[in-house]
Amino acid sequence: MAIKAKNITIGIRSLDQGLDNFVETAEALMRGESVKKQRGVYFENLDSFRKVLTEKRLALLHAVKQQKPDTIHELARLLGRDVKNVSDDLKYLAELGLVSLDKGTEGSGRRVAPRVTYEKIRIEIAI
């Protein structure tokens, strides 16, 4: 049995393009049409995109997916980075929906385990 890969879309589209997409979806719903659920993170321009998905943050996402660290401290050690900087990056990526921060079970104190639940990031640029 094949496992369906989960993807997340990261795209660049202007505010007008985003609003047009919203209006098209709302109109389709009002006509009673079914609309395919879309999950993604969109930026208004390439500059904003580059500021968010830096090489360090992409390496962080890769390490979380591949190494499955149990704590932020473990992830920082794996990456050779400062714990506070890794924690800040994780919080920011969690706000965008690119990573989840799972609180530990009883007895683990304040431990937080970062998790990535998708296999691929698809880049979409509207022209």
The answer on pLDDT for 102 being more than 70 is yes
The answer on pLDDT for 49 being more than 50 is yes
Question: Domain range holding 16?
Answer: 7-125
Residue 2 lies in a domain: no
Mean pLDDT value of segment 85-96: 93
d(CA 123, CA 65): 18
Q: Provide the CATH number for the domain around residue 71.
A: 1.10.10.10
SS3 state at 24: helix
- State the number of CA atoms in the 13 A half-sphere of 96 facing the CB: 21
The answer on pLDDT for 2 being more than 50 is no
Residue 1 lies in a domain: no
- Based on the structure, what is the number of domains in the chain? 1
- How would residue 109 be classed by pLDDT, with cut points 50, 70 and 90? low
Continuous H helices in the chain:
15-30, 46-52, 55-67, 72-79, 83-95
The answer on pLDDT for 71 being more than 90 is yes
Residue 85 lies in a domain: yes
Contact 73, 80 (CB under 8 A): no
Which positions ≥6 away from 54 have C-beta within 8 Å?
none
- Name the phi and psi angles at 47, rounded to 5: -60, -45
